[in-house]
Amino acid sequence: MSEILVLVEARLRTALGEPDARAAITFLGTDRIEVLRFIDAEAGLVRYATLGMSAQPMTDPTSALADPVKGPRAELLLTVRAGRADTDQVLRPLAVLAATPQVEGVVVAPGASLDVGDPLWPGAPFSSVLVGESGGLVEDLVLDAPLDPVRFLPLLPMTSNEAAWKRVHGAQALEERWLAEGTDLRDPQRRSVRLD
Protein backbone atom coordinates (compact mmCIF):
# COMPACT_ATOMS: atom_id res chain seq x y z
CA MET A 1 0.00 0.00 0.00
CA SER A 2 2.64 2.56 1.02
CA GLU A 3 4.78 1.60 -1.99
CA ILE A 4 1.89 2.47 -4.31
CA LEU A 5 1.44 5.87 -2.68
CA VAL A 6 5.16 6.63 -3.05
CA LEU A 7 4.85 5.94 -6.79
CA VAL A 8 1.65 7.99 -7.01
CA GLU A 9 3.24 10.99 -5.31
CA ALA A 10 6.28 10.71 -7.60
CA ARG A 11 3.97 10.74 -10.65
CA LEU A 12 2.16 13.83 -9.30
CA ARG A 13 5.46 15.63 -8.69
CA THR A 14 6.70 14.77 -12.18
CA ALA A 15 3.52 16.15 -13.78
CA LEU A 16 2.75 19.10 -11.49
CA GLY A 17 6.02 20.05 -9.76
CA GLU A 18 6.61 20.31 -6.02
CA PRO A 19 3.53 20.69 -3.81
CA ASP A 20 3.61 23.88 -1.76
CA ALA A 21 1.17 22.59 0.86
CA ARG A 22 -0.45 19.36 2.01
CA ALA A 23 -3.10 18.37 4.51
CA ALA A 24 -4.01 14.95 5.89
CA ILE A 25 -7.46 13.82 6.99
CA THR A 26 -8.48 10.48 8.46
CA PHE A 27 -12.12 9.48 8.71
CA LEU A 28 -13.29 6.80 11.13
CA GLY A 29 -12.75 3.38 9.57
CA THR A 30 -10.79 4.64 6.55
CA ASP A 31 -7.19 5.00 5.50
CA ARG A 32 -5.53 8.41 5.71
CA ILE A 33 -6.19 10.72 2.76
CA GLU A 34 -3.85 13.57 1.93
CA VAL A 35 -4.58 16.52 -0.33
CA LEU A 36 -1.61 18.18 -2.02
CA ARG A 37 -1.70 21.71 -3.42
CA PHE A 38 0.33 22.69 -6.47
CA ILE A 39 0.65 26.31 -7.61
CA ASP A 40 1.12 27.02 -11.31
CA ALA A 41 1.95 30.73 -11.02
CA GLU A 42 2.71 31.06 -14.72
CA ALA A 43 -0.77 29.88 -15.70
CA GLY A 44 -2.49 31.45 -12.67
CA LEU A 45 -3.85 28.08 -11.53
CA VAL A 46 -4.05 26.12 -8.30
CA ARG A 47 -4.22 22.34 -8.56
CA TYR A 48 -5.32 20.02 -5.77
CA ALA A 49 -4.59 16.29 -5.86
CA THR A 50 -5.65 13.55 -3.46
CA LEU A 51 -3.12 11.01 -2.23
CA GLY A 52 -4.35 7.85 -0.53
CA MET A 53 -7.47 6.90 -2.46
CA SER A 54 -5.42 4.58 -4.70
CA ALA A 55 -3.92 2.62 -1.79
CA GLN A 56 -6.81 0.14 -2.00
CA PRO A 57 -8.66 -0.99 -5.14
CA MET A 58 -12.25 0.19 -5.47
CA THR A 59 -14.78 -2.60 -5.17
CA ASP A 60 -18.04 -3.02 -7.04
CA PRO A 61 -20.77 -2.65 -4.38
CA THR A 62 -22.55 -5.73 -5.80
CA SER A 63 -19.53 -7.97 -5.16
CA ALA A 64 -19.85 -10.37 -2.25
CA LEU A 65 -16.17 -10.04 -1.31
CA ALA A 66 -13.70 -7.22 -1.78
CA ASP A 67 -10.60 -8.23 -3.72
CA PRO A 68 -7.57 -6.78 -1.88
CA VAL A 69 -5.49 -6.70 -5.09
CA LYS A 70 -7.58 -6.37 -8.24
CA GLY A 71 -9.89 -3.50 -9.01
CA PRO A 72 -9.72 0.07 -10.30
CA ARG A 73 -7.52 2.57 -8.48
CA ALA A 74 -7.72 6.34 -8.75
CA GLU A 75 -6.77 9.72 -7.32
CA LEU A 76 -8.72 12.94 -7.82
CA LEU A 77 -7.52 16.23 -9.36
CA LEU A 78 -9.15 19.65 -9.16
CA THR A 79 -7.85 22.72 -11.00
CA VAL A 80 -9.12 26.27 -10.35
CA ARG A 81 -8.03 29.78 -11.24
CA ALA A 82 -5.94 31.30 -8.44
CA GLY A 83 -6.98 34.29 -6.37
CA ARG A 84 -10.70 34.39 -7.22
CA ALA A 85 -12.03 32.52 -4.18
CA ASP A 86 -10.88 30.87 -0.95
CA THR A 87 -10.50 27.52 -2.70
CA ASP A 88 -8.09 26.13 -0.08
CA GLN A 89 -11.22 25.29 1.90
CA VAL A 90 -11.81 22.51 -0.65
CA LEU A 91 -9.27 20.26 1.10
CA ARG A 92 -11.78 18.56 3.39
CA PRO A 93 -14.47 18.09 0.69
CA LEU A 94 -11.82 16.57 -1.61
CA ALA A 95 -10.74 14.17 1.13
CA VAL A 96 -14.40 13.24 1.68
CA LEU A 97 -14.78 12.46 -2.02
CA ALA A 98 -11.55 10.44 -2.04
CA ALA A 99 -12.79 8.40 0.93
CA THR A 100 -16.12 7.63 -0.77
CA PRO A 101 -15.01 4.24 -2.20
CA GLN A 102 -13.98 3.04 1.30
CA VAL A 103 -16.96 4.55 3.13
CA GLU A 104 -19.78 3.88 0.67
CA GLY A 105 -18.32 1.02 -1.38
CA VAL A 106 -18.66 2.80 -4.73
CA VAL A 107 -16.41 2.79 -7.77
CA VAL A 108 -15.53 6.34 -8.84
CA ALA A 109 -15.33 6.40 -12.64
CA PRO A 110 -15.51 8.95 -15.47
CA GLY A 111 -19.05 10.26 -15.96
CA ALA A 112 -19.99 9.81 -12.30
CA SER A 113 -21.38 12.60 -10.15
CA LEU A 114 -20.09 13.08 -6.61
CA ASP A 115 -21.82 15.40 -4.14
CA VAL A 116 -20.56 16.64 -0.77
CA GLY A 117 -23.87 18.32 0.17
CA ASP A 118 -22.24 21.67 0.98
CA PRO A 119 -20.35 24.27 -1.08
CA LEU A 120 -16.91 23.01 -2.11
CA TRP A 121 -15.43 26.21 -0.60
CA PRO A 122 -17.01 29.29 1.03
CA GLY A 123 -19.40 30.98 -1.39
CA ALA A 124 -18.88 28.34 -4.08
CA PRO A 125 -21.85 27.81 -6.41
CA PHE A 126 -20.90 24.10 -6.51
CA SER A 127 -21.53 21.24 -4.11
CA SER A 128 -20.98 18.46 -6.64
CA VAL A 129 -18.50 17.48 -9.32
CA LEU A 130 -18.51 15.54 -12.55
CA VAL A 131 -15.68 13.00 -12.80
CA GLY A 132 -13.75 13.47 -16.05
CA GLU A 133 -11.61 11.10 -18.10
CA SER A 134 -8.06 10.30 -16.98
CA GLY A 135 -4.93 10.60 -19.08
CA GLY A 136 -4.81 14.37 -19.55
CA LEU A 137 -2.86 16.39 -17.02
CA VAL A 138 -1.33 13.40 -15.20
CA GLU A 139 -0.73 10.15 -17.08
CA ASP A 140 -2.08 6.91 -15.66
CA LEU A 141 0.42 5.10 -13.44
CA VAL A 142 0.91 1.48 -14.55
CA LEU A 143 1.55 -0.89 -11.63
CA ASP A 144 2.97 -4.42 -11.67
CA ALA A 145 0.45 -7.12 -12.60
CA PRO A 146 -2.08 -8.09 -11.37
CA LEU A 147 -2.66 -4.56 -10.02
CA ASP A 148 -4.80 -2.18 -12.08
CA PRO A 149 -3.21 1.15 -13.06
CA VAL A 150 -3.82 4.26 -10.96
CA ARG A 151 -5.93 6.76 -12.90
CA PHE A 152 -5.82 10.48 -12.12
CA LEU A 153 -9.39 11.66 -12.56
CA PRO A 154 -10.12 15.37 -13.04
CA LEU A 155 -13.09 16.81 -11.15
CA LEU A 156 -15.31 19.34 -12.92
CA PRO A 157 -17.42 21.40 -10.47
CA MET A 158 -21.15 21.45 -11.27
CA THR A 159 -23.85 23.87 -10.10
CA SER A 160 -27.01 22.26 -8.69
CA ASN A 161 -28.85 23.03 -11.96
CA GLU A 162 -26.09 21.40 -14.00
CA ALA A 163 -26.07 18.34 -11.71
CA ALA A 164 -29.86 17.96 -12.09
CA TRP A 165 -29.62 18.39 -15.88
CA LYS A 166 -26.81 15.84 -16.04
CA ARG A 167 -28.96 13.26 -14.20
CA VAL A 168 -31.55 13.54 -16.98
CA HIS A 169 -29.37 14.01 -20.06
CA GLY A 170 -26.07 12.34 -19.09
CA ALA A 171 -22.48 13.41 -18.60
CA GLN A 172 -21.60 13.63 -22.29
CA ALA A 173 -24.50 15.99 -23.00
CA LEU A 174 -23.43 18.28 -20.15
CA GLU A 175 -19.81 18.30 -21.33
CA GLU A 176 -20.98 19.12 -24.87
CA ARG A 177 -23.07 22.00 -23.50
CA TRP A 178 -20.08 23.35 -21.56
CA LEU A 179 -17.95 23.11 -24.71
CA ALA A 180 -20.55 24.78 -26.93
CA GLU A 181 -20.90 27.68 -24.49
CA GLY A 182 -17.13 28.09 -24.00
CA THR A 183 -17.51 27.52 -20.25
CA ASP A 184 -14.41 28.17 -18.12
CA LEU A 185 -14.62 25.14 -15.84
CA ARG A 186 -11.64 26.42 -13.82
CA ASP A 187 -13.44 29.61 -12.77
CA PRO A 188 -14.31 29.08 -9.08
CA GLN A 189 -17.13 31.65 -9.31
CA ARG A 190 -18.64 30.80 -12.68
CA ARG A 191 -22.38 30.71 -13.20
CA SER A 192 -24.36 27.75 -14.47
CA VAL A 193 -24.23 27.17 -18.21
CA ARG A 194 -27.45 27.83 -20.20
CA LEU A 195 -29.51 24.65 -20.06
CA ASP A 196 -32.64 25.58 -22.03
Model confidence band, residue 196 (pLDDT cutoffs 50, 70, 90): confident
C-alpha to C-alpha distance for 37 and 48, rounded to whole angstroms:
5
Output b/e per residue, 8-34; b: 16+ Cβ within 10 A.
bbebbeebbeebeeeeebeeeebeebb
Buried b (16+ CB within 10 A) or exposed e, 121-140: beebbbbbbbbbebeeebee
Give residue 149's pLDDT. Answer: 95
What average pLDDT does this structure show over 28-34? 84
H helices then E strands: how many in the chain?
4, 7
- Tens of pLDDT, residue by residue over 45-81, are 999 999 999 999 998 766 666 666 788 999 999 999 9
